[in-house]
């Protein structure tokens, strides 16, 4: 990956362009380019694609189930999880785009663009989650409890936890903030899945704690909002810094 400016400068000084281009290669690539051999990088890239596809299919099913629970049982946590599951689908699609190009597995610019898009999606989704949770708290809407709610909670919690671990491991190896962010989203999904179970069980025995479900929804919304803002703050400048880099064919 080379900078257009450096290639232009190379016309005047061959020695200078060598040094400058080396600096550009370092700046335009992720740390994984120095850690992994080419065949190792491609192997992990394919694993990231597989995990992303599995995540899309599974979380899409969970999102539909959770939205159903949310509207039928008036659960802010279920709505929050459903929205987070939808966010997980979108973030996995972004990761698919990130690793769809085998030649750009170490591309810093592509990585940063993916992170910026993820940050925007996080912020927008958090606002929807917060709006729903605050509305339920303001109107004192208690969650209804049944076996279907428990089933969705357990399945979603366990599934998202497994996906989160896989994404964190791959993100660490590939030094990918996008994959780690996707893993964080799956982790939030796992927490929200179990929170539905906890809030429903508490309400079942203590009806005066009707606000627990909505409160958890607010907390999750704030966490996602903070993460999204932090991601944008970190990545927008990096996108600008690396926008002059391109693959040297």
Q: What is the pLDDT of residues 65-79, one digit of tens each?
A: 878 877 877 766 677
Q: What is the mean pLDDT of residues 218-246?
A: 87
**Domain harbouring 157, CATH code:** 1.20.1510
145 pLDDT band, cuts 50/70/90, is low
Backbone region of residue 140 per phi and psi (left: phi > 0; alpha: psi in -120 to 50; beta: other values): left
pLDDT at position 14 over 50: no
3 pLDDT band, cuts 50/70/90, is very low
**Which among 118, 127, 125 is positioned nearest to 231, based on CA atoms?**
118
Would you state the structure tokens that stand for residue 126, as one six-digit string?
């958090």
Whole-prediction pTM value? 0.77
pLDDT of residue 47: 93
- On whether both 8 and 115 belong to a single domain, the answer is no
Helix (H, G, I), strand (E, B) or coil at 206: coil
Most confident listed range (54-58, 129-133, 144-148): 54-58
Q: What percent of the chain has pLDDT over 70?
A: 81
pLDDT of residue 165: 95
pLDDT of residue 20: 34
- On whether both 3 and 97 belong to a single domain, the answer is no
pLDDT of residue 23: 32
Would you state the structure tokens that stand for residue 127, as one six-digit string?
């606002």
d(CA 98, CA 116): 12
Name the residue with tokens 């610019």.
109
User: How many separate domains does the chain show?
Assistant: 2
Rg (CA), the chain: 21
The 10s digit of each residue's pLDDT in 148-204 is: 767 877 888 899 899 999 999 999 998 899 999 999 988 988 888 788 778 878 888
- On whether both 154 and 177 belong to a single domain, the answer is yes
Contact 143, 64 (CB under 8 A): no
- On whether both 9 and 98 belong to a single domain, the answer is no
How many C-alpha atoms does 176 have within 13 Å on its Cβ side? 33
pLDDT of residue 123: 92
- On whether both 82 and 198 belong to a single domain, the answer is yes
pLDDT at position 146 over 70: no
pLDDT of residue 46: 93
- On whether both 23 and 58 belong to a single domain, the answer is no
pLDDT of residue 85: 78
18 pLDDT band, cuts 50/70/90, is very low
pLDDT of residue 76: 65
- On whether both 109 and 7 belong to a single domain, the answer is no
- Who wins on pLDDT, 6 or 112? 112
- On whether both 61 and 16 belong to a single domain, the answer is no
- On whether both 238 and 116 belong to a single domain, the answer is yes
- On whether both 172 and 213 belong to a single domain, the answer is yes
C-alpha of 150 from chain center = 25
- On whether both 48 and 153 belong to a single domain, the answer is yes
Query: How far, in Å, are 39, 129, 171 from residue 52 at the CA level?
Result: 20, 23, 12
Residue span of the structural domain in which 208 resides = 37-246
Query: How far, in Å, are 20, 32, 60, 82, 179 from residue 48 at the CA level?
Result: 32, 14, 18, 23, 8
- On whether both 21 and 53 belong to a single domain, the answer is no
């Amino acid at each position: 990956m080379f900078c257009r400016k450096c290639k232009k400068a190379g016309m005047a000084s061959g020695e200078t362009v060598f040094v400058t281009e080396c600096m550009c290669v370092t700046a335009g690539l992720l740390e994984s380019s120095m850690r992994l051999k080419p065949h190792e990088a491609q192997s992990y890239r394919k694993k990231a694609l597989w995990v992303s596809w599995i995540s899309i299919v599974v979380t899409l099913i969970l999102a539909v189930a959770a939205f159903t629970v949310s509207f039928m049982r008036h659960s802010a946590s279920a709505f929050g999880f459903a929205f987070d599951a939808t966010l997980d689908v979108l973030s996995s699609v972004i990761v698919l785009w990130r690793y769809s190009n085998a030649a750009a597995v170490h591309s810093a610019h592509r990585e940063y663009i993916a992170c910026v898009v993820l940050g925007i999606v996080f912020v927008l989704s958090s606002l929807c989650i917060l709006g729903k949770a605050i509305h339920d708290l303001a109107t004192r809407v208690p969650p209804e409890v049944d076996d279907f709610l428990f089933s969705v909670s357990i399945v979603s919690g366990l599934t998202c936890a497994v996906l989160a671990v896989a994404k964190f491991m791959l993100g660490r190896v590939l030094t990918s903030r996008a994959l780690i962010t996707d893993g964080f989203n799956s982790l939030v999904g796992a927490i929200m899945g179990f929170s539905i179970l906890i809030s429903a069980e508490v309400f079942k025995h203590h009806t005066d704690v009707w606000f627990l479900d909505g409160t958890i929804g607010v907390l999750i919304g704030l966490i996602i909002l903070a993460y999204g803002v932090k991601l944008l703050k970190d990545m927008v400048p990096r996108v600008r810094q690396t926008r002059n880099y391109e693959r040297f064919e």
